Amino acid sequence: MDFTLSDEQLAIQQVSRDFAENVIKPRAFAMDASGEFPLDIIQQMGALGLLGLPIPEQYGGAGADFLAYCVALEEIARGDASVAITMEAHTSLGATPFLLFGTDEQKKTYLEPLASGQKLWAFGLTEPQAGSDSGGTQTHAELADGEWVINGSKMFITNAGTSMTAGVTVTAVTGVKSNGRKEITNLIVPTGAEGYVIGPPLKKMGWKASDTRPLSFDNCKVPQENVLGSVGGGFKQFMQTLDAGRVAIAALCVGLAQACLDESLKYSHERSQFGKPLHDFQLIQAKLADMATEIELSRLMYYKAAWLHMQGRDFTKEASMAKLFASETSKRAADQAVQIHGGYGFMDDYPVSRYFRNVKVNEIGEGTSEVQRILIAKQLLQSLR
């Protein structure tokens, strides 16, 4: 077993680390305070190839492997959570479905500008009344005169309303299957489509500079060929999309947890009490050791899930486990980081205060921790049936 990253993975890790350290991190405080979407940073990342890392070069991407993408995401998250989730939602949820399920023409029209980082794309699954129960989608679409007419709404959609967003892929009910279940289809809705209304940005506890919006579809019309994948294949497709997305979210969480450890190590060296630096106290050392151990374990978990994915093997259980453990690791790391900083950790001037707010949502987005436990148990129980 060899845990060494390849030369290419190491090079991508270094580029991402340098960009996070030199460009993103110095702006993180201001981005959080203003909540403004960092368009110029995202455009620079596009130019560096960071928005299409796992997409083959023939479609405008960097042609890197999935682990390289996750490793890059970890580094970007170490710089800032809002930038990292913008990259993740765009790459895993926006662009990748075009690679997996798109026609040649759709790849040319939609995937190339996304993979080359000129445009962003969103993925609209969640609805006001359908979150964890994603099969409970109420948005529906009917075919009329060669067009899909979409009605309904979506909630909490990342990247839908930035000035570089080209559109959103939405799930919609397009009929009833022979088993009586809803037939769900993924439809491509370009920004500016008739009847597509992008709501105002939502105000959030964390990830403040990422773009999160409600969307509504009021007799929204898109051409018949705007089906992504097959009619009725939508449910299976987004499940597949979310499996890989969860590995990427685990990597993002590791980056956030690592940032908590970085700041804690620095602060415990600088701050003295009782005539000694904080890191001389064994109770502080125990916190640092626990953080580092959980981070290492979370990193190994996402490496393994990414490796299984790259081998073409089943990785559903490992993806859920990595996402579950890494998100909870990042929450514990942020909690301990604030504790190590004492009262200063509660002040906005210190990054750990922001980290504390940024980690919570990882236990919610792309499947809550409860949903991950349900999925893991389902996999375990399958072997008994």
Ligand X SMILES: Cc1cc2nc3c(=O)[nH]c(=O)nc-3n(C[C@H](O)[C@H](O)[C@H](O)COP(=O)(O)OP(=O)(O)OC[C@H]3O[C@@H](n4cnc5c(N)ncnc54)[C@H](O)[C@@H]3O)c2cc1C
- Which residues are designated catalytic? 366
Q: Which of 17, 368, 376, 379 binds ligand X (CB under 6 A)?
A: 368
CB nearer to ligand X: give 212 or 320: 212
Give the nearest distance from C-beta 109 to ligand X in angstroms.
21
CB nearer to ligand X: give 65 or 363: 363
Q: Which string of x and - marks every residue 23-62 that binds ligand X (by CB under 6 A)?
A: ----------------------------------------
Under rule CB under 6 A, residue 370 binds ligand X: yes
Three-class DSSP category at 196: strand
Under rule CB under 6 A, residue 364 binds ligand X: yes
Give the nearest distance from C-beta 381 to ligand X in angstroms.
15
CB nearer to ligand X: give 67 or 193: 193
Under rule CB under 6 A, residue 80 binds ligand X: no
Q: Which string of x and - marks every residue 122-161 that binds ligand X (by CB under 6 A)?
A: xxxxx----xx-----------------------xxx---
Under rule CB under 6 A, residue 362 binds ligand X: no
Q: Which string of x and - marks every residue 82-121 that binds ligand X (by CB under 6 A)?
A: -------x--------------------------------
In the complex, the residues that contact ligand X under the rule CB under 6 A are 89, 122-126, 131-132, 156-158, 204, 207, 212, 361, 364-368, 370-371
